[in-house]
């Protein structure tokens, strides 16, 4: 049952997000504690479990076990309750939690937790609790080299948006320094600091949420293709912290120039990539045949998908509006509502087609409905992107001087970024 639920939730998560895996792999055997940042509510547990590719028992706050549906899912996955003072619980009961975790680790199992202790929408990792370190130091596995703590960074492009990118980065394992030394407060403090540093190596930490659009623009301006986008953004953020300390005025000037450059691009309806495009006849033909023509031909599929799935789509959005969740809970509410509304609607449609037109049409509907829904969900965004590209093409003859000015400004910003890289090593 647990494997079946895990597969189903994994399928839902893969449908909602485009998942990207970076870094290493979680060991397939042996006692491990998976620690991750926590920006997206219960969805983070599903993503972390998928990254582990092995059974994981998660720690979860005790009130979750009293919630309908969610509580049943938590118990089915073997989650372990944590009793928190802010929930009005008796924290003495956490002795049972530590005993359960120790038993799992001593038996070579995997435990997953979010050491920040809260799900949040802040742009930076929050202070870590000491639980992960205490668990790792308190376990005494009968076999193997001891407990490994595996840092996992979860980064969402737009966590509440369907088919946005979710990047999962597995960092280097941290061996517990002294098994059995869980009562040593200084050892726990030092190991918690090591876990914090390891998590920062795989997460994107910003001083302000407003920095992210400028970082993304800087990453696109500079012709630098080492690593994944998330990794490049993290390097740029690290440079920013260095210069915020040693040369804040210089950093402020770079930010100002990036903001002005961004406003000019938006005013013209351009992306940085548009400045590099040479619109030859071959490119135009390839764009029309490869992008515009499929969009035009896809209109019937879009209309079919939009009509077929309109009801559960509206119900899901209505559930989010009624619930009015915090930003870090929007995806959780969307996924739970979608799991409630979409499967019965799909079955109902297939049954209706069966009774109306018979089995051949029902089989065709069963196969066509899921892909038509995916096409419908991505159709309008693709049209908007295509229209922006067409506008850039049509406006090019009238924007020669402005584009040349933007190209010069982009080159100067890229050169300044290059100097930052050299000065930060």
Mapped onto helix, strand or coil, the DSSP state of residue 5 is helix
- Predicted local confidence at residue 182, as pLDDT: 45
In a domain, 16, yes or no: yes
Range(s) of the domain holding residue 326? 281-401
Pair 188, 290 in one domain = no
Pair 172, 287 in one domain = no
In a domain, 87, yes or no: yes
In a domain, 47, yes or no: yes
Average pLDDT over residues 327-351: 95
pLDDT, one tens digit per residue, over 241-285 is 888 888 888 888 999 999 999 999 999 888 888 888 888 888 888
- Predicted local confidence at residue 239, as pLDDT: 84
Mean pLDDT lowest for which of 119-128, 222-231, 391-400? 222-231
Residue 419 has pLDDT above 90, yes or no: no
d(CA 169, CA 187): 27
In a domain, 409, yes or no: no
d(CA 184, CA 15): 45
CATH number at residue 171: 3.40.1130.10
Average pLDDT over residues 22-38: 94
Residue 223 gets which letter from DSSP? -
Pair 45, 191 in one domain = yes
Q: Which two tokens stand for residue 253?
A: 């000037």
Q: Higher model confidence: residue 71 or residue 362?
A: 362
**Residue ending a domain, choose from 179, 200, 221:** 200
Pair 123, 211: CB distance under 8 Å: yes
pLDDT, one tens digit per residue, over 234-248 is 988 988 888 888 888
Q: How confident is the model at residue 169 (pLDDT cuts 50, 70, 90)?
A: very high
Please, which residues bridge with residue 36 across strands?
152
Mean of per-residue pLDDT scores for the chain: 89
Average pLDDT over residues 404-410: 93
In a domain, 307, yes or no: yes
The bridge status of strand 148-156 relative to strand 164-170 is antiparallel
- Predicted local confidence at residue 92, as pLDDT: 84
In a domain, 231, yes or no: no
Residue 1 has pLDDT above 90, yes or no: no
Cβ neighbours of residue 154 under 8 Å, at least 6 residues apart? 36, 37, 39, 40, 44, 47, 48, 166, 167, 168, 203
Pair 195, 342 in one domain = no
- Predicted local confidence at residue 425, as pLDDT: 61
In a domain, 142, yes or no: yes
Pair 163, 304 in one domain = no
In a domain, 239, yes or no: no
- Predicted local confidence at residue 139, as pLDDT: 85
**Residue ending a domain, choose from 157, 178, 200:** 200
**Residue ending a domain, choose from 180, 200, 220:** 200
pLDDT, one tens digit per residue, over 278-319 is 888 888 889 889 998 989 988 999 999 999 999 999 999 999
Residue 31 gets which letter from DSSP? -
Q: Tell if the pTM clears 0.75, that is, is over it.
A: yes
Pair 16, 164 in one domain = yes
The CA radius of gyration of the chain, in Å to the nearest whole number, is 25
Pair 196, 303 in one domain = no
Number of domains the chain contains: 2
Cβ neighbours of residue 77 under 8 Å, at least 6 residues apart? 2, 5, 6, 49, 57, 58
pLDDT, one tens digit per residue, over 66-95 is 887 788 778 877 889 988 888 878 888 888
Pair 65, 177 in one domain = yes
Pair 172, 24 in one domain = yes
d(CA 104, CA 108): 6
């Amino acid at each position: 049952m647990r494997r079946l639920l895990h597969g189903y939730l994994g399928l839902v998560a893969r449908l909602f997000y485009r998942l990207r895996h970076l870094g290493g792999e979680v060991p397939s055997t042996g006692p491990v504690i998976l620690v991750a940042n926590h920006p997206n509510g219960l969805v983070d547990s599903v993503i972390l479990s998928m990254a582990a590719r092995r059974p994981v028992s998660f720690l979860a706050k005790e009130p979750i076990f009293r919630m309908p549906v969610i509580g049943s899912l938590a118990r089915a996955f073997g989650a372990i309750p944590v009793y928190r003072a802010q929930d009005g619980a008796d924290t003495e009961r956490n002795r049972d939690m530590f005993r359960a975790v120790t038993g799992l680790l001593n038996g070579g199992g995997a435990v997953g937790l979010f050491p920040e202790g809260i799900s949040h929408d802040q742009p930076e990792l929050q202070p870590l609790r000491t639980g992960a370190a205490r668990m790792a130091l308190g376990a005494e596995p009968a076999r193997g080299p001891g407990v490994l703590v595996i840092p996992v960074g979860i980064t969402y492009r737009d966590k509440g948006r369907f088919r946005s990118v979710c990047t999962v980065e597995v960092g280097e394992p941290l061996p517990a320094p002294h098994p059995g030394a869980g009562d040593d407060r200084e050892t726990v403090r030092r190991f918690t600091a090591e876990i914090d540093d390891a998590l920062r190596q795989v997460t994107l930490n910003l001083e302000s949420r407003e920095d992210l659009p400028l970082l993304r623009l800087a990453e696109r301006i500079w012709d630098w293709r080492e690593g994944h986008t998330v990794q490049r953004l993290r390097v740029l953020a690290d440079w920013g912290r260095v210069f915020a300390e040693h040369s804040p005025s210089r950093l402020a000037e770079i930010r100002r120039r990036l903001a002005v450059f961004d406003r000019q691009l938006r005013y013209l309806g351009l992306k940085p990539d548009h400045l590099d495009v040479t619109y030859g006849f071959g490119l135009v033909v390839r764009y029309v045949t490869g992008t515009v023509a499929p969009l035009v031909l896809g209109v019937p599929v879009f209309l079919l998908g939009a009509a077929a799935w309109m009801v559960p789509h509206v119900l899901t959005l209505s559930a989010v509006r009624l619930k009015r969740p915090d930003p870090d809970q929007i995806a959780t509410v969307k996924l739970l509502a979608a799991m409630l509304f979409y499967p019965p609607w799909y079955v109902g449609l297939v049954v209706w087609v069966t009774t109306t037109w018979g089995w051949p049409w029902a089989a065709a509907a069963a196969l066509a409905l899921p892909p038509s829904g995916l096409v419908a969900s991505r159709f309008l965004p693709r049209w908007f992107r295509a229209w922006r590209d067409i506008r850039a093409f049509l406006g090019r003859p009238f924007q020669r001087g402005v584009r040349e000015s933007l190209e010069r400004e982009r080159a100067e910003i890229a050169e300044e970024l290059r100097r930052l890289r050299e000065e930060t090593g």
